[in-house]
Amino acid sequence: MFKDDNADKDTINSAEEIYDVGTFCQITSLFTVPAGQNSEAATTAVLYPHRRIKMRSLIKPNYTGVKEGDTSKVEAAAVEATLEGEPTEKAQEESVEQKKPESEDNKGDVVASFEETVADSHKLEKPDFYYEPTAFLRERPVTLINVENIPEHPYERTNMEIRALVSEIVNTFKEVASINNLFRDQVSAFSNSQNSGNVGDEPGKLADFAASVAQAESAELQEIMEEEDMQTRLTKALTALKKELMNAQLQKKIVSDVESKIHKKQREYWLMEQMKGIKRELGLESDGKEKLIQTFQEKANRLSMPEAVKKVFDEELSKLAHLEQAASEFNVTRNYLDWLTQMPWGQRSAENFGIKHAMAVLDEDHYGLKDVKDRILEFIAVGKLRGTVEGKILCMVGPPGVGKTSIGKSIARALGRQYYRFSVGGLADVAEIKGHRRTYVGALPGRIIQALKKVQTENPLILIDEVDKIGKGHNGDPSSALLELLDPEQNNSFLDHYMDVPVDLSKVLFVCTANMTDTIPRPLLDRMELIELSGYVADEKMAIADRYLAPAAKQLSGLESVDVQLENSAIVELINKYCRESGVRNLKKQIEKVYRKASLKIVQDIGEDDVLSEAKALTDEGKAAQEEAAKDETDVKETSQNIANETTEKPRVALNVPSSVHVSITKDNLADYVGPPVFTSDRIYETTPPGVAMGLAWTQMGGAALYVESIIENTLSYSSHPGLQQTGNLRPVMKESVSIAYSFAKGVLAREFPKNRFFEHARVHLHCPEGAVPKDGPSAGITMATSLLSLAINEPLDPTIAMTGELTVTGKVLRIGGLREKTVAARRAGAKMIIFPEDNLSDWLELPENIKDGIAGKPVGWYRDVFGLVFPGLDREAANALWKKELKKPKGASARKALPQREEGEGEIEEAEEEE
């Protein structure tokens, strides 16, 4: 064997190129492999090994061969076969010795025989002609060498280490054979070749066989072949065999892992194919991905997708067809196609623009609200003429409980549109409006796209509730995201982040609700058309309670077939003494409370022993469940089986109250059901003292009467300075109104009553009651000025006069808002006259007659008009002197101590009057 593993040649030029120990083999057969398309012809030789040999000399291949019968060159050829580096004489001696019969000493030299231990037993006579066996190779490029046999090195058969090594090799053979089938066959063939002998008796052959079957390095195998010491040889062979065992174990593990994965995949595939076959037999499903693609295509064919959407759909469908179902992108694409095909592209519901139908629906669902209904009917009439109502965004603004949300639902019912509602109150994530990117896990489109998917029409009515309470978080500003949604010029190509295709929302009728417009962003408010709902007056509340609230509450309380009467007087009492807010939500709660109390009273009066007993209410299933539950006394039910036995679908039935029961709720016994009245009177003052004026304010709950009170803090005393103190939890706008009213009142007093020095000597305290309630707004200027002037001239006001309007320093009365709510509040407070700015005259004329009934409206442009209305027939001469008496009037011990100073001051005042 070549020392260089990469060497590949047929002749040897130097003995250093090869190992000097090899194997003497016999060629038993030859197989010729024909030349292929890309390979040359080759020959395969099968060798049978006999013994180990060692090279003695290399015969140089630099001479020609000897022809048969040529005896003259035989000796010369033999002489040329010399050892490398030896003299020619020695070679000649060896050549002569070679012609002699072999003796016992040179028995190991190679002869033309395959028997290792058999030698010539007879002497060869010197022939006339000597035949050289390898002479025919002299003419060919074949390397010849002289070799000697390597006999087995003697060893002790009783050596325990050799025995142990033999046993370990045999055990290792068994382990490898149990793993590798090919190895098992080799071991079996080796055992049969021993002729039923013990392999332990010939450890050399065992070591050679171990090395021959081990997949070791060539140098390592050569080292085992050259080793003569039996123990060392066995050790090296065992090492190579152990490596083979480790290789077989690793190979077995790899094969096992691969097979387990393959078997798992094959099992899953087999089960999936079985499941598909079962589903196909049942008609539940055909082939997976192909059926899915076919379903998407069928859905898309039924829709009128725009060209841009159709292009995206085709691209995504082609992408899905080339994706494996196990890929993560497969489900993302599938969900996206699912949303694309579930959108109502080109699908619209038939609308009803009938005015009579709309009026019937609105009157059926709501009482009153004439201006709101008229605005909706105008909206529908325009749609009837145009054929569509697109391009308008309605926003209904009003206090809680006036029916804004229910009006939106009634509009949808009147138009025959699908209805969808969602609230944006407290919404702080833009993704709720614009959707998430598809790259996010669990991404979804925005609420608008979800609404279109649910209603399955392009022209629904979408109600966006609580638009004034929208939040603003770290994920963007949702109110800004609503701009694109609610702008008629932009929403025809609304772009959702998830859909990523333009969606036409111009066919959608958007209706928004809000309690106030102050917190709605200005750009958003500019895109909406406001419809104000100011609330209900007492007679409207009465009709609503009688038609809607009372019957619903009675049915909800289980008294639908029972003679329980809620008298009109009780409802009026509820409205006046318990529910003064603009809406009817609190009135609904109070009526439900009345009927609940009536239910309890009926059950307690009749008794539970006979008519309304629990035994009569329980069904057979309910009794069985009750008995089963009584067996388990633990607090927590641990097993689902017990819980299933303790529950039933219909455990009990409703009980019928006897027809002999009669309950009547009147004004007199109403307190037994809802407690003492919350509001004891319509207004704070039945008769107002000087300095008190009744103003009107707008609140989130509607309108309210806002009194302004002014008093004198001190009498005429030079120990304090004149001025104004204000209280009542006033906000910045009202504080400015107080300052303006004070300055204006001093100017009026100086012009109209020049001898009245009230504000020059008095320290005034102005207060608005209910100081715990914050107050703000530009509508209390004339009320504050009237209160201050009433105190200055000591003239009380009519308690039935209410006023509202902002005041400038020159006396101009400015326009205010919420006149309807304020009129309702004035009527509730018992006012008979309302003074309001002249600029609000159109608002007053639009008010329903039932609200203005019994109230006189007085528009004013300047404060002098207000002064003439609140102080009719005033004696101006008397008003000049009244202030002296008011300031000089003793008020306790502190006033008496300051009396000398007041007298001194009085003299100064009289001197000033004489000079005038």
CA distance 267 to 322: 25
Higher pLDDT among residues 381 and 883, named by residue: 381
Rounded Cα distance, 710 and 689, in Å: 10
| 28 annotated among ligand-binding-site residues | no
Q: Give the SS3 label for residue 396.
A: strand
Looking at the predicted structure, is the pLDDT value of residue 84 above 50?
no
402 known member of a binding site:
yes
Contacts of 621 (CB under 8 A, 6+ apart): 648, 649, 650, 651
Question: What is residue 637's three-state secondary structure?
Answer: coil
Q: Give the CATH number of domain 692-880.
A: 3.30.230.10
Residue 111's closest CA among 50, 170, 64, 197?
Answer: 50
| Annotation: CATH topology of 355-532 | Rossmann fold (3.40.50)
CA 675 from centre of chain: 47
Bin 403: left if φ > 0, else alpha if -120 < ψ < 50, else beta.
left
837-844's contacts with Cβ under 8 Å and 24+ in sequence apart are: 837/804, 837/805, 837/806, 837/813, 837/861, 838/813, 839/814, 839/815, 840/815, 840/816, 843/819, 844/819
Give the chain's mean pLDDT.
80
pLDDT at position 388 over 60: yes
Name which of 75-79, 432-436, 642-646 the model is least confident about: 75-79
The pLDDT, as a whole number, for residue 121 is 40
pLDDT at 285: 56
Active site residue 779: yes
E strand or H helix that includes residue 240: helix 230-282
Q: pLDDT tens digits for 156-196?
A: 877 888 888 888 888 888 888 888 777 777 777 777 776 55
pLDDT tens for residues 756-805?
Answer: 888 888 889 999 988 778 888 888 999 999 999 999 888 899 999 999 99
| Least confident interval from 423-437, 673-687, 853-867 | 673-687
How many residues does this entry show for the chain? 916
Distance in angstroms between the alpha carbons of the first and the last residue of the chain: 148
Average pLDDT over residues 421-427: 89
Q: Does 676 count as an annotated binding residue?
A: no
Which of left, alpha, beta for 426 (phi over 0: left; psi -120 to 50: alpha)? Answer: left
Mean pLDDT of 223-243: 87
Check residues 117 and 83 and name the one with the higher pLDDT. Answer: 117
Residue 41 confidence (pLDDT):
82
680/694 Cα distance (integer angstroms)? 18
Q: Is the pLDDT of residue 244 over 90?
A: no
More confident residue, 633 or 854: 854
Q: Is 403 annotated as a binding residue?
A: yes
Residue 101 annotated as binding site: no
Q: How many CB atoms lie within 10 A of CB 109?
A: 16
Give the active site residue among 779, 787, 790, 884.
779
CB 438, CB 393: distance < 8 Å: no
Crossing angle (nearest 10°) for helices 876-888 and 899-915: 160
| Angle ∠(311,313,317) on CA atoms, nearest 5 | 120
Pairwise pLDDT comparison (854 vs 623), residue with the higher score: 854
- Cβ atoms of 164 and 178 within 8 Å: the answer is no
pLDDT over 70, % of the chain: 82
Task: Report the candidate in 179, 320, 342 with the shortest Cα–Cα distance to residue 252.
Answer: 179
pLDDT given for residue 98 in this prediction? 43
Residue 901 has pLDDT above 60, yes or no: no
- Tell me the three state secondary structure of residue 559: coil
Residue 822 annotated to the active site: yes
Q: Answer yes or no: are the C-beta atoms of 164 and 231 closer than 8 Å.
A: no
- Looking at per-residue pLDDT, the higher value among 61 and 300 belongs to 300
129/477: higher pLDDT: 477
Q: Is 401 annotated as a binding residue?
A: yes
List pLDDT tens digits, range 468-514.
Answer: 988 877 777 888 888 888 888 888 889 999 999 999 998 898 999 99
Put residue 833 in one of left, alpha, beta given phi > 0 → left and psi -120 to 50 → alpha.
beta
Q: Evaluate if residue 695 carries a pLDDT over 80.
A: yes
Buried b (16+ CB within 10 A) or exposed e, 205-238: ebbbbbbbbbebeeeebbbbbebeebbebbbbbb
pLDDT of residue 840: 92
Residue 637 clears pLDDT 60, i.e. is over it: no
Contact present, 692 and 797 (Cβ < 8 Å): yes
User: Which residues partner with 724 through β-bridges?
Assistant: 764
The pLDDT of residue 887 is 64
**Residue 167 neighbours by CB under 8 Å, 6+ apart:** 200
Percentage, residues of the chain above pLDDT 90: 24
Between 818 and 652, name the one with better pLDDT. 818
Mean pLDDT of 316-331: 86
94-108, 110-124, 279-293, 650-664 — which one is most confidently predicted on average? 650-664
- pLDDT greater at residue 526 or residue 112: 526
Range name among 199-203, 421-425, 582-586 with the lowest pLDDT average: 199-203
Q: Which residues pair with 709 in a beta bridge?
A: 692, 767
Burial label for 420, CB within 10 Å (0-12, 13-18, 19+), is buried
For residue 861, pLDDT beyond 90: yes
**Residue 80: predicted pLDDT:** 43
**Residue 643 and residue 675 in contact, taking contact as beta carbons nearer than 8 Å:** no
Instruction: Report the pLDDT value the prediction gives residue 136, as an integer from 0 to 100.
Output: 76
For residue 258, which amino acid is it?
Answer: V
**Lowest mean per-residue pLDDT among 87-91, 345-349, 595-599:** 87-91
CA distance 521 to 530: 14
Mean pLDDT of 430-435: 89
For residues 319-345, give the mean pLDDT.
Answer: 88
| Higher per-residue pLDDT: 717 or 437 | 437
Residue 185 phi/psi, 5-degree rounding, is -65, -40
**Spans of all domains in the chain:** 15-59, 160-253, 286-341, 355-532, 692-880
Which amino acid makes up residue 414?
A
Q: Is the pLDDT of residue 349 over 60?
A: yes
| Measured distance CA(842)–CA(819) in Å, rounded | 10
- Cβ within 8 Å of residue 286, ≥6 positions away: 280
Going by pLDDT thresholds of 50, 70 and 90, the confidence category of residue 83 is very low
